[in-house]
Amino acid sequence: MRNLFKGAIAFVAVIFATQLAQAQQKIGHVNLAEVIQATPEFKTAEGQLKTLSDGKTKELQDMYAMYQTKQKEANDKARNRSEANKETVDVELQKLGTELRDIETRINENQRVAQEELNKKEEELISPIHRKVSDALTAVSKEKGFAYVFDISSTNIPYFQGGDDLTPALKTKLGISATAAPATPAKK
Q: What percent of the chain has pLDDT over 70?
A: 78
pLDDT for position 9? 57
DSSP at 186: P
- Flag whether pLDDT at 167 surpasses 90: no
pLDDT for position 178? 64
Instruction: Tell me the three state secondary structure of residue 105.
Output: helix
Residues 6+ apart with CB under 8 A from 80: 89
pLDDT for position 160? 65
pTM to 2 decimal places: 0.68
Instruction: Please write the tens of the pLDDT for every residue from 39-54.
Output: 999 999 999 999 999 9
Orientation angle between helical segments 86-144 and 40-79, nearest 10 degrees: 170
pLDDT for position 185? 40
Q: What percent of the chain has pLDDT over 90?
A: 50
pLDDT for position 1? 53
- Flag whether pLDDT at 8 surpasses 80: no
Instruction: Please write the tens of the pLDDT for every residue from 108-130.
Output: 999 999 999 999 999 999 999 99
pLDDT for position 154? 82
